[in-house]
Amino acid sequence: MSDQPELVFDFSHNGKASTTVTAHYGEKLLAVEKFDLCKSKARADFAVFICKDRPGIKRDDIERVLTQQAAEFEAAMGCACAQLPPRPA
């Protein structure tokens, strides 16, 4: 059993091009940001912000979660602006 808090994201889709992303690390609120999940730079910038001064949090893991959520929203909306990275063989 790990004593490390869990990183949890909540997503609120606000329309065609914006989502409010709330990040919690255990009980601590890390961020509430509104941005376009379809934009890879926006996802990367958010991941960098969350990881800053938090060595236990991995940027790649955050970007993977954000990209997965973007793909799910896009599938529900019938468009395809974010591409999921290929799954390892």
Per-residue pLDDT tens over the stretch 36-50? 998 999 999 999 999
68 within domain boundaries = yes
d(CA 54, CA 57): 6
In a domain, 18, yes or no: yes
Domain, as residue range, for 47: 7-77
Residue 51 lies in a domain: yes
- 38 backbone φψ class: left, alpha, beta (φ>0; ψ -120 to 50): alpha
57 lies in some domain: yes
- Our count of domains for the chain comes to 1
Task: Assess if residue 83 is contained within a domain.
Answer: no
Q: Is residue 1 part of a domain?
A: no
Q: Model's pTM, two decimal places?
A: 0.80
pLDDT exceeds 90 at position 83: no
